[in-house]
Structure 1
Amino acid sequence: MPLDRKTLSIALAAVAVLAVGAWAWQHFTGTTALPEGLIQANGRIEGDHTTVASKLPGRIAEMKVREGDSVQAGQLLARLEDTQLAARKQQADAAVATVQAQLDAARAQLAVARREVPLAEASAGALLAKARAAEAQAAKDARRFDELAARGTVETRRAEQMRLAHTAAAADLRQAEQSVSSAHLGNDKVKARENDIAALAAGLRQAQAAASEVAGLIDDLNLRAPTGGVVLNRLRENGEMVAAGTPVFDLVDLDKLYLKVYVPEKQIGQLRLGLPAQVYTDAFPGQAFPARTRYIASRAEFTPKEVQTPDERVKLTYAVKLYFDSNPEHRLSPGVPADAVIRWKDEVPWQAPRW
């Protein structure tokens, strides 16, 4: 017997109620969530920040980069005025040049002395040997003529001449001995010159150190990137005065990005360091970026307002950092929201997050 219209309406209404109930049961019991072994979470991409600050006080003369610019390690980011230090550098360089010239002259004089002293000693030695021989011969002749004069063989005047010749030869010998002593004194002069050179060399090192110090101060006026990355914030502008230690730039390394997510308290016990994860962003739909769990907070905190959880009743969560294995072509950037799936059971296949 066919159903009447009223009975059919009641039956359709019952079916609708059952369908809504099934959907509600499925939704609130979490059957749309990921299977056991996978945990989904979301957050924002962040990076390790590096602050570039001025070592010295001064006025910014030139800013080389803007926010959003990619920079390489060692790249010049900004330069402070160096007028006063440049003048000090000129004075220090002039002092180095002066001492260097004095040192070069002293070394040249020492080289000449080292060549001349041996020659002078050899010449004085030869003269001394000749003078000794002449004095010895003159003494012998004087004695012989004295004996001859005493026997009356030669005139007394001739013996006196021989004695005078001996006296002259003795004087020449003393002069030759003095020449040898003077030649030996040349060695003392060489040593004194060597001492002067050592003192000048020490003075040169001191002057060079002073010049290097000023050069280092001038180099400190150039603010360079300590690492590669992107300029997130340019905190100062041209012409501003900055004190020592004043932050000027905020950099982030695009090769060391991570997604900071918040995992509910009831799921945190399933996580451990090193677990793999896959990150998804709206900018690259369907593409998963591999990551690793490198940080798990030791204390719980209330769920941030911008973070979603499968159960909005969750109040306490733990911060977890998922570091990307790589950032191909630097497509990922800080501040971008993203979803993640963390796998804590290896046998469970990957699935995209469901919200």
Structure 2
Amino acid sequence: MGKDVQQTKHRRWLWLGGIFTLLIIVALAQWLWQQDEVELGLLQINGRIEGDLIAVAPKAAGRVVELKVREGDEVRAGQLLARLEQSAVGAQLVEANATQRAFESQAKAQVIGLNVLRAETPIQLTSARAGIQAAQADLRRAEAATAQEKRDLARVRDLADRHFLSPQAVEKSELALRAATEQEAVARGALTRARQAERDAELAPLRIRSRTAETAATHAQAQAAAARVNQARSQVDDLLIYAPSSGRISARYVNAGEVVTIGTPLFGLTDLTHVYLKAYVPEPMLGRIRLGQLAQIWVDAFADQPFDAKLGFIASRAEFTPKEVQTRDERTKLVYEVRLYPSADPGGKLLPGQPADAMIRHVDTAVWRKPSH
């Protein structure tokens, strides 16, 4: 029986020794493979796909009345994401529009009146001067008639005093003189009115300048009203939150009914056309890489499709391997963060959070190979 126990212990030690030896062989093979890989001009790294998170926030404060998207939705640049309450600002926009239309209508009427005045001024001036000439001619005729009637009355009276004419003839001549005098007064009044019309016509340029200034003032008021309309419209637009770029909604921070202030993030948006692989390079390998080197990114979802990339970022300071690295031993190593940016739009095939492997070619003649797991 003691012999069986010894044989069992012996077999157990052989079994443990075999496992230990196998582990050493596997580790040695992996190390040799990695060394061979480095010698072949390729450096394998692994990490996660990341994307820059855009905080979508309103330019105005207000109550959230509608949310158009939720986490995981893909959106286009300019797509409406949310709407804030618009009642007060909307009323201001309606009032500003009405004021603008009123001033614009007034300005149009003033322009029409001004154009009519400009067109009528030369006509009125010509007509007034012609009226003066006509009134002067009428007055000269009336004065001549009055003078003639005075002479006729003097002759009639002389003849009546000598009993050659009757008293009725004198009365008739006096009536004719009175009529001529009245006609002269009428002609003189017409000349006065014609001269006044000429003075009024000559003042037309002053009225034109005055009307022009009034029209300009009304135009300025209309422009100020238009500025208020634009301001109110901008305030209304600020209550509509649009996607600044195409991408995927990564987070939603508010619910409908909540009151938000200016700059309060409503959504987190990730631009899927500008994702990158974030990984870490051990310090001894830092001398083999440089910005602009070509690389290939591999993800499990597309195991046979590498994504061409370039090394676009190398951290300037070393750090201990981040906590997301699984083994404790690995977390104690000094590493440098690097980022690989795809050379073309991955078309939504590379998503933030995906684990990925990559090969960086640090020797130009190196032949691409798929990363090992």
One-letter amino acid of the counterpart of residue 26, structure 1:
L
Query: Residues 190-211 of structure 1: CA distance to partner in whole angstroms, max 9, x if unpaired?
Result: 2222211111100011111111
Q: Contact 1:60–1:78 (CA<8 Å) still a contact in 2?
A: yes
> How many angstroms apart in 2 are the aligned matches of 1:223 and 1:81?
12
Aligned counterpart, 2:25? 23
Aligned counterpart, 1:112? 116
Q: Contact 1:42–1:308 (CA<8 Å) still a contact in 2?
A: no
| Structural RMSD (CA) | 3.3
How many positions carry a matched residue from both structures? 335
Matched, 1:265 2:283: yes
> How many angstroms apart in 1 are the aligned matches of 2:123 and 2:155?
47
Instruction: Give the deviation of 1:23 after TM superposition.
Output: 2.4
Aligned counterpart, 1:335? 353
Query: Residues 199-253 of structure 1: CA distance to partner in whole angstroms, max 9, x if unpaired?
Result: 1100011111111101100100000011111111111111111111100011111
User: What is the DSSP-based 3-state SS (H/G/I as helix, E as strand, rest coil) of the residue aligned with 1:285?
Assistant: strand
Aligned counterpart, 1:55? 59
Instruction: Give the deviation of 1:79 after TM superposition.
Output: 0.4
Give the share of equivalent positions with the same residue, in percent: 41
Query: Residues 248-283 of structure 1: CA distance to partner in whole angstroms, max 9, x if unpaired?
Result: 011111111100110011111111111011111111
> How many angstroms apart in 2 are the aligned matches of 1:28 and 1:101?
85
Aligned counterpart, 2:212? 194
Aligned counterpart, 1:92? 96
One-letter amino acid of the counterpart of residue 75, structure 2:
V
CA change 1:276–1:238 in 2 (3 A) is: same
What TM-score does the superposition give when structure 2 sets the normalisation length?
0.79
Instruction: Give the deviation of 1:332 after TM superposition.
Output: 1.2
CA change 1:21–1:71 in 2 (3 A) is: closer
What TM-score does the superposition give when structure 1 sets the normalisation length?
0.83
Q: Contact 1:278–1:342 (CA<8 Å) still a contact in 2?
A: yes
Mark the runs of 5 or more structure 2 residues left unpaired by the alignment: 1-13, 159-172
Aligned counterpart, 1:3? none
Q: Over alpha carbons, which structure has the higher Rg?
A: 2
User: What is the DSSP-based 3-state SS (H/G/I as helix, E as strand, rest coil) of the residue aligned with 1:332?
Assistant: coil
One-letter amino acid of the counterpart of residue 107, structure 2:
L
My pick for the range that moved more, 217-226 or 130-139, is 130-139
- Residue 126 (structure 1) aligned to one of 125, 130, 140: 130
> How many angstroms apart in 1 are the aligned matches of 2:27 and 2:232?
76
More helix by share: 2
My pick for the range that moved more, 339-348 or 113-122, is 113-122
Q: How does 1:1-355 map to 2 (within 5 A)?
A: 23=25, 26-27=28-29, 29-33=31-35, 34-36=37-39, 37-134=41-138, 172-307=190-325, 312=330, 315-355=333-373
My pick for the range that moved more, 167-176 or 85-94, is 167-176
> How many angstroms apart in 1 are the aligned matches of 2:326 and 2:288?
19
Instruction: Give the deviation of 1:66 after TM superposition.
Output: 1.1
Q: Contact 1:32–1:354 (CA<8 Å) still a contact in 2?
A: no
